Amino acid sequence: MKAVCWMGTEKMSVETVPDPRILNPRDAIVRITSTCICGSDLHLYDGYIPTMEQGDIMGHEFMGEVMEVGSGVDQGKLKVGDRVVVPFTIACGNCFFCQHQLWSLCDNTNPNAWIAEKMMGYSPSGLFGYTHMMGGYAGGQAQYARVPCADVGPLKIPGGLPDEKVVFLSDIFPTGYMAAENCNIQQGDTVAIWGCGPVAQFAIRSAFMLGAEQVIAIDRVPERLQMARDGGAQTINFEEDSVVDVLKDVTGNRGPDSCMDAVGMEASGHSLFFATDRAKQALRIKMDRAEVLRQCIRACRKGGTVSIPGVYAGFVDNIPFGAAMNKGLTFKMGQTHMMRYMRPLLERVERGEIDPSFVISHRVPIDRAPEMYRVFRDKLDRCTKVVLDPWADGASGA
């Protein structure tokens, strides 16, 4: 089959690799019909998260048709022929964490838990296509994928809904929604969201669903700022204005009730701390550029909440923790607990409350994935989200 393989920093390649097979009784094989490039994949593309190996198959946002199920899969839950969206987190369904709906913290799905334990104390769940530290699972930017614990994660999709409307249930719609839920929004609140990437776009719309009165979104890319305004947000261009000052002004000197970092470890910026981050990251001494997290802590009102869907990988420094402590801030973060949100959000799509396809700028054959990584990272060609078609003829255009 064809698959997008990580061959080194900034080197993606579409390779012909062996088709996946059932390895465990609870596995399923899915024939993928749509698969996306995520902001999280850019951290791997840019080489900032360790334990990738040459030839690893990328991708964690995919959907398709079940071709085969193992003998241990509960056929009442999943059977051959079902059309499914597959969540990016892999969860066993039985452990303490799964029982508590903390799906991205499953105790049983990372066979390389020892690597994560060395760095983090305990290991989160396994993830598709996201380093050996997170399980070394082959990802879904391919024609087929092996889906472990297949009777827990995949969500059946009724016919009639096109892939474009449901594929983002695999990650960024639930991620934006959980990030908004983590803001602890009360009626009438002001929420500030850093980043207007795909995750932030869903966070903006989710914040309104959860009762925010005002959402202020921050970025510098014109078409992304426009998309945020289309979703009802006011916007700040961080190249033109001092973000923390503007937020203070527009909230009557009090500050936003919650601040969301939907940017993560590859933030841009202008401060001295940012320059230090960048130098250390270039030398691979540090993994993260935490400019946005710093701004969130500074801008947030006293007693407010900082929600962090943006991915961080390592040991972040120069965090104003004294400010966080003395202002009594609450922090909420994490990889998304996907299975809490997929079905209720599918129901919103079915009811026509939201059409997630608004975020797509490019739908291209998988053969063009290597070039699209660069286009998405560098925000070329007004790129906001790339959906790859694993079966289309590579010669055809966007």
Query: By the criterion CB under 6 A, which residues form the site for ligand NAD?
Result: 38-40, 42-43, 171-172, 175, 194-200, 218-221, 224, 238, 262-264, 267-269, 291-292, 309-311, 335-336
Residues 128-187 that bind Zn ion (CB under 5 A): 171
Nearer residue to ligand NAD within complex by CB, 195 or 231 = 195
Nearer residue to Zn ion within complex by CB, 127 or 329 = 127
Picked from ligand NAD, Zn ion, none, the partner binding residue 206 (CB below 5 to 8 A depending on kind) is: none
Nearer residue to ligand NAD within complex by CB, 14 or 203 = 203
The total number of residues written for the chain in this structure: 398
For the bound state, the minimum distance from the C-beta of residue 311 to Zn ion, rounded and expressed in Å, comes to: 9
Among 14, 26, 29, 40, binds Zn ion (CB under 5 A): 40
For the bound state, the minimum distance from the C-beta of residue 180 to Zn ion, rounded and expressed in Å, comes to: 17
Nearer residue to Zn ion within complex by CB, 198 or 365 = 198
Nearer residue to ligand NAD within complex by CB, 27 or 171 = 171
Picked from Zn ion, ligand NAD, none, the partner binding residue 214 (CB below 5 to 8 A depending on kind) is: none
- Judged by CB under 5 A, the stretch of 55-63, 156-164, 305-313, 385-393 that binds Zn ion is 55-63
The footprint of Zn ion on this chain (CB under 5 A) covers a number of residues equal to 4
Q: Which residue is nearest to Zn ion (CB)?
A: 38
- Judged by CB under 5 A, the stretch of 59-67, 135-143, 176-184, 226-234 that binds Zn ion is 59-67
38 binds Zn ion per the rule CB under 5 A? yes
Nearer residue to ligand NAD within complex by CB, 73 or 183 = 183
For the bound state, the minimum distance from the C-beta of residue 171 to Zn ion, rounded and expressed in Å, comes to: 4
Q: Which residues bind Zn ion (CB under 5 A)?
A: 38, 40, 61, 171
